[in-house]
Amino acid sequence: MKCYTYKLNRREFLKRSAVAAAGIAAGTITRSVHAKANSRIGVRQKKIVVIGIDGMDPSLCETMMKAGQLPSLKKFRDMGGYRRLGTSAPPQSPVAWANFINGSGPASHGIFDFIHRDPSKQCAPVFSLTETVPGTGSLTWDNHKVPLEFWPFNHKSPTTILKRRGIPFWHYLDEAGIQSAFYDLPSNYPPSPSIKGNHKCLSGMGTPDMLGTYGTYQHFAENGPLSPLDEQGGRRSRLSFQNDTATAKLIGPQDQFLSKTQPAFIEFQVHRDRQACAAVIDLPGKRILLREKEWSHWTPLRFALSMPRPLPDKRVNGMCRFYLQEVAPNFRLYATPINIDPSDPAVQIAEPADFTSDISDKLGRFYTTGFQEDHKALSNGVFTDDEFVDQANYVLKERLQLLQYAQENYDSGLLFFYFSSVDLQSHMLWWDSKDKHPIRSHANAQKYFGVLKDLYRKLDRVVGDIDRQYGDQASIIVMSDHGFARFQRQFSLNTWLRDNGYLISGYAESIFQDVDWTSTRAYGLGINSLYLNLRGREKYGIVADGEERDNLLNELIVKLEKVQDIRKQRVIQKVYRTDKIYPGAPPQSTPDLIIGYNTPYRASWDTCLGGISNNVLMDNNSAWSADHCADPSQLSGILFCNRSLAQNNPSLTDIGPTILSEFGLPIPARMEGRNIF
């Protein structure tokens, strides 16, 4: 980009010099040069505001606009600024937002699912977005392993890397001197660097908690398990009171300095007052008083990582919030996942690194995990519906405070702001049907769907406020990565593969145990992914590349697309060959087929992590009662603008190229997208 600008300026200079030599007055040259400089300044001062609302659904938007309930979005629609936005295949958030970031599909960024697999370990699951690279070297000392990162040892500590490949579109803005600021951007942890210093970003979805997970709450109750119980998304412990005082532990990050790694922890005490319906939580250096049904503020936590004597222990900072659910007769206390403390982060979650502390200096502490609404607490029965909604409302309140900060610190260039609220509340509250809900009565299903509709109205008011502030001076884009649908029935892909002779497993409950890989030709892992047991790629691969592979893929497509439920309803809308829709994708990490489910079907919970169920088709009995991991044709996102749109079928890959064009920059050849204007 810099080279391009230099050549252009040089040509203009030579051209004008030649004209000047022919007798044009010096004043004319000066005016031309000034006009060029002013034009460049004008581009840099241009404003584009992008509001990303994860999971906002076009059908619900259209229904609510027709009823007059979304006036701000309707205003944009009436200006010619509304289209359904094409999503990714599959329509999973990490894939979709990576499409947005690169202006191109998975062949460019290499993200195909939440879960990928390591073929060198046959089918070992790995996170698609990040990877922790082990450290190299350490000094063994008094049952500790201490990395010495200075010369002459030059040991390296473990590091986390972003696996998303390719060049993000803001890199070109950065090079051109155009400012950009992204708040809670998905699919960008750890944050990619700013080469020229014109880009700021706070990482969003994909950012872990201090335990290295996507979010692990901790729950303490009198009727808790006798021994601490780890469950998906949480940990439960029993409180044993003596004279209304109990002792418990908050589990923190792994102590990597110990020869035998184990988690660090903070011991605390709980003192309850039954008559006052209140409790005191005593942490080291901190006392918290809570009444029943009350939330604490963010509580700073310091975890000690032990070092051998006489070295002092290292300490890392985290934070959590407590919620006192019940004092008696069964004392229950909830603690949020241990978030990275933005005022002094243990790992880099923003670019530049001090961006988080700049924000917290103004706003105080705030959620930093990628998934902030605690859906797992509701799915696991730790939260009631109302408690989940209450916690989600607090997340939205924080997000709106962050938006105000973003606006106060925005002058020109690109401002991107992300809302997670619609997506995670839709998973738990969406129900647009008279059919039986998995866990709620019909009345309650409609009540909480109403809560979701109210959230749409709140965000419409946010769009209205942004329009009033920037509408006459900025291009405003409101977008979502996908829509939503009910999730009523589960399809166990591995069970189907077993029953049809493609996966030889006997009575195994998982592809990680007792699978005969010498006879297995295909397996499922992740939400939408199917892999062949390909020779030369998988560790125990048997399917030959070429004709055998092609015949097997085509056979699987035909059979899977014919699968029907007991009511003769088609389960799978379309099966995609990735080598056809994503030519050039890296073969080692790319699934061979992407399953596009017909709503209201989705992959079973077992399938996502390689499970093999007893039945191929089952009811979904989870509070997670809606989803978007089906066929992309059924789950378009939304695109609203305060300008008329020229493209009739815009896609996520079009937004980045549009932004570059609006700032006067060429669209790189590696991008698939077009200018929507």
Per-residue pLDDT tens for 380-428? 999 999 999 999 999 999 999 999 999 999 999 999 999 999 999 999 9
Per-residue pLDDT tens over the stretch 581-605: 999 998 888 999 999 999 999 999 9
C-alpha–C-alpha distance, residues 606 and 608, integer Å: 5
Phi-psi region of 519 (alpha: psi -120 to 50; beta: other; left: phi over 0): alpha
Determine which of 2-16, 69-83, 644-658 has the lowest per-residue pLDDT on average. Answer: 2-16
Q: Is residue 263 part of a domain?
A: yes
Q: What is the rounded average pLDDT of the residues 357-369?
A: 97
Per-residue pLDDT tens over the stretch 141-179: 777 777 767 676 667 777 888 999 999 999 999 999 999
Report which of residues 568 and 296 the model is more confident about: 296
Last residue of a domain, one of 342, 362, 382: 342
Determine which of 125-139, 421-435, 478-492, 601-615 has the lowest per-residue pLDDT on average. Answer: 125-139
Residues 224 and 92 in one domain: no
Q: Is residue 279 part of a domain?
A: yes
Residues 521 and 651 in one domain: no
Residues 237 and 286 in one domain: yes
**Which residue type occupies 298?**
W
Determine which of 244-253, 256-265, 529-538, 595-604 has the lowest per-residue pLDDT on average. Answer: 256-265
Question: For the chain, what is the domain count?
Answer: 4
- The pLDDT confidence band at residue 38, using thresholds 50, 70 and 90, is very low
Per-residue pLDDT tens over the stretch 436-446: 999 999 999 99
C-alpha–C-alpha distance, residues 524 and 66, integer Å: 42
Q: Is residue 597 part of a domain?
A: yes
Q: Is residue 130 part of a domain?
A: no
CATH number, domain containing residue 475? 3.40.720.10
Last residue of a domain, one of 322, 342, 362: 342
Report which of residues 91 and 27 the model is more confident about: 91
Q: Is residue 266 part of a domain?
A: yes
Residues 565 and 493 in one domain: yes
Structural domain harbouring 531? 489-619
Angle at 504 between CA 498 and CA 505, to 5 degrees: 85
Q: What is the pLDDT of residue 41?
A: 52
Determine which of 4-18, 455-469, 504-518 has the lowest per-residue pLDDT on average. Answer: 4-18
Q: What are phi and psi of 29, to 5 degrees?
A: -60, -45
Residues 262 and 243 in one domain: yes
Residues 596 and 609 in one domain: yes
- The pLDDT confidence band at residue 43, using thresholds 50, 70 and 90, is low
Tokens of 12: 């203009």
Which percentage of the chain shows pLDDT scores above 90? 83
Residues 229 and 202 in one domain: no
Q: Is residue 459 part of a domain?
A: no
Q: What is the rounded average pLDDT of the residues 615-637?
A: 97
Q: Above 60 in pLDDT, residue 30?
A: no
Q: Is the four-CA dihedral 167, 668, 43, 419 of positive or negative sign? A: negative
Last residue of a domain, one of 282, 316, 342: 342
Q: What is the rounded average pLDDT of the residues 344-350?
A: 95
Residues 185 and 62 in one domain: yes
Q: What is the pLDDT of residue 96?
A: 98
Please, which residues have CB within 8 angstroms of residue 24's CB and are 6 or more apart in sequence? none
Q: What is the pLDDT of residue 310?
A: 72
Residues 13 and 98 in one domain: no
Residues 664 and 588 in one domain: no
Say whether the peptide bond before residue 352 is cis (omega within 30 degrees of 0): yes
Which percentage of the chain shows pLDDT scores above 70? 92
Q: Is residue 127 part of a domain?
A: no
Report which of residues 388 and 25 the model is more confident about: 388
Q: Is residue 150 part of a domain?
A: no
C-alpha–C-alpha distance, residues 71 and 464, integer Å: 8
Residues 367 and 422 in one domain: yes
What mean pLDDT value characterizes the chain? 91
Residues 428 and 477 in one domain: yes
